[in-house]
Structure 1
Amino acid sequence: MAAYKRGTVEDFPGFDARADAEVLRKSMKGLGTDEEPILKILTSRSNAQRQEIALAFKTLFGRDLVSDLKSELTGKLETLVVSLMRPARLFDAHALKHAIKGAGTDEKVLNEILASRTPAEIRNIKKVYQEEYEANLEDHITSDTSGFYQRMLVVLLQANRDPDGPINESLVEADAQQLFRAGELKWGTDEEKFITILGVRSIAHLRRVLDKYMTISGFQIEETIDRETSGPLEKLLLATAKCVRSVPAFFAESLFKAMKGAGTDDDTLIRILVSRSEIDLLDIRKAFRRDFAKSLYHAIQKDTSGDYRKGLLLLCGGEDD
């Protein structure tokens, strides 16, 4: 699995699980809840350290920390804090399970996770999903989706993307030409070509293909996908192409859209900030500043409020002026 060191949250130096557990218990004991120490501790400890705090909490007080937090907090703040407490290994599997649970499918979550994770990460998600839910993730997803969209999801779930290696320029040319013929040059669209090439080729190879495609067609691949496909498949192909170019830029755009216009998509905001806080949130912040001419910190400050805002800002980790 890729080793990232560009998160805003790291192991807390001088960490003491018991001391943290005692502070958390005190903040929830008696009348009212003191949210400040809860947020301060949980946003400055790594996920592994949070799990140690939960164990120490149970050892010291015979109580479940997550249950206590749920009973003391409400709304978006509760969702944020419970997400912070979810073990990192379960995070994506849990998000996918809830995206396909009940009536309707949250395609945004499926697209975000399956387009952005490495093959090793996807294999791990499938393993955890099987262990936690005693079910096959691919079976659950295929029973809830259809058509070319389903086929692209299945390709990504195989986690058989070619490994990065020496670039074969003749194959780059051939793939770019195939994509051009499958879209812009064709009456109708050969979706299978887009699915196979974008779903299977290595990331380094695909970056060259996207550059070559621009040279051949005069269009960015995203423009062609936008014109030639529609619905869920279009959104998944766009997410995949954007992640090929830059995963941090993809997440920066997702965060920008989550806070754009009337209302805020808090589920997306929480999911990305929590899941990327120990991976590449510093790079996401940098991409956000570059692409949207303002800092992620400023955008969160403007679009959220109360203790929920405080928690997100602590997780964000600072301004980018």
Structure 2
Amino acid sequence: MDSEYFNSYNMCWGTLGTVRPFSNFHPDRDVMAIKAALENKDTVTLVRILTNRSNAQRQVIAEAFKASTQKDIVTALKKAVSGDLVLLLVELLIPSVEYEAYRFQEAMAVMYNKDLEKELQGETSGDFAKLVTALLNKDCVAAAVQKDIETLSASLKGKKADAGPWIDILTSRDLDHLNNVLIGLEVELEQTVDQIVEKRFTGDFRLGLKVLVQCIQSPGVYLAKKLQTMKKELVQRIMVSHSEEDLLCIRAAFIKLTGNSLYTALQVGDHLQALLAICRSED
């Protein structure tokens, strides 16, 4: 493991991410090192710096690089580095908010084998489109757990289940609240939420809702299963987007699911160095 990681490790101890803000952060020094690395095609240095800085720090580096060189750092990377590694380094440099939107749209496109924007244009009145639109515009609204349980339960009492409350509640509450709501609903109906959704909804909306429920109830397990496929682009997106949040949880779920550590499973590919640097260590 890189010594720079140990130097910054204590700064954010207690978080569930593997990438933490680098305590001895000097963007000007990083820019100088990156410029030299780009000239010499030194991928080791590029990986060492970009995987040992938080996303916010990478944005500072990108701005400092542009001020110093009058060039965009992403464009410079694409000229100096190729293959899977450059794709990963570029994704590391995307601002967090933009990356989450990009990752969500890519995930939907992969899941349904469709272009998300075209799908929404072609199905603007469908429940699936409403669900995706609500997720894209997700906001957190305070509510009472018991009231939400009652609302979801009532939505299932008609001959046809009402998708509206499911879309509204599952896309506008925080994770802890939603977990309590779904647990309460399971107790009341004596079925798992997955069984409820399977029986009462159909089509793309059912699939989307089941994925959303899995992500709420067991996000680490859900993502560990996705990582198990070892599909290059999917692995890359998960590693980058969860590196500062909960990759330790995903690592724990992965070893429980497969019997092997994620670090061991990643011992392949051209961008091995960067993926292992994000993963950090064996379990």
> Same fold, TM exceeding 0.5?
yes
Over residues 10-34 of structure 1, what are the superposed CA-to-partner deviations in whole Å (9 max), with x where a residue is unaligned? 121222222222222222225xx22
Query: Who is 1:14 aligned against?
Result: 24
Whole-angstrom distance in 1 between the partners of 2:151 and 2:175 = 13
Query: Who is 1:318 aligned against?
Result: 281
Calculate the TM-score normalised by the size of structure 1. 0.69
Which residue identity lines up with residue 284 of structure 1 in the other structure? I
Whole-angstrom distance in 2 between the partners of 1:145 and 1:107 = 17
Pairs within 5 Å for 1:75-154: 75-95=83-103, 99=106, 106=109, 108=111, 142-143=120-121, 145-146=123-124, 147-154=126-133
Whole-angstrom distance in 2 between the partners of 1:21 and 1:172 = 50
Over residues 64-122 of structure 1, what are the superposed CA-to-partner deviations in whole Å (9 max), with x where a residue is unaligned? 322111012222211101011122232223445x649xxxx71649xxxxxxxxxxxxx
Q: Secondary structure at the residue paired with 1:106?
A: helix
Change in Cα spacing, 1:145 to 1:44, as seen in structure 2 (3 Å) is farther
Runs of 4+ in structure 1 over 6 Å off: 138-141
Query: Who is 2:10 aligned against?
Result: none
Deviation at 1:310, TM superposition (A): 1.4
Pairs within 5 Å for 1:300-311: 300-301=266-267, 304-306=268-270, 308-311=271-274
Deviation at 1:56, TM superposition (A): 3.2
Alpha-carbon contact 1:175-1:197 (below 8 Å) kept: no
Which residue identity lines up with residue 274 of structure 1 in the other structure? V
Change in Cα spacing, 1:61 to 1:210, as seen in structure 2 (3 Å) is closer
Q: Among all aligned residue pairs of Structure 1 and Structure 2, give the percentage whose two residues are the same amino acid.
A: 29
Whole-angstrom distance in 1 between the partners of 2:252 and 2:103 = 26
Which range is displaced more, 48-57 or 211-220? 211-220
Query: Who is 1:29 aligned against?
Result: 39
Whole-angstrom distance in 2 between the partners of 1:20 and 1:95 = 27
Deviation at 1:315, TM superposition (A): 0.7
Change in Cα spacing, 1:108 to 1:178, as seen in structure 2 (3 Å) is same
Change in Cα spacing, 1:36 to 1:139, as seen in structure 2 (3 Å) is closer
Which residue identity lines up with residue 148 of structure 1 in the other structure? D
Long gaps (5+) in structure 1:
110-137
Pairs within 5 Å for 1:183-202: 190-192=162-164, 194-199=166-171
Query: Who is 1:120 aligned against?
Result: none
Pairs within 5 Å for 1:223-234: 223-234=195-206
How many residue pairs were aligned?
Answer: 267
> In the alignment, which of 42, 50, 58 is matched to residue 58 of structure 2?
50
Over residues 140-180 of structure 1, what are the superposed CA-to-partner deviations in whole Å (9 max), with x where a residue is unaligned? 87325442201222343453554265x43xx4663464366
Query: Who is 1:163 aligned against?
Result: 142
Query: Who is 2:80 aligned against?
Result: 72
RMSD over aligned CA atoms reads 3.4
Long gaps (5+) in structure 2:
1-13
Change in Cα spacing, 1:218 to 1:36, as seen in structure 2 (3 Å) is same
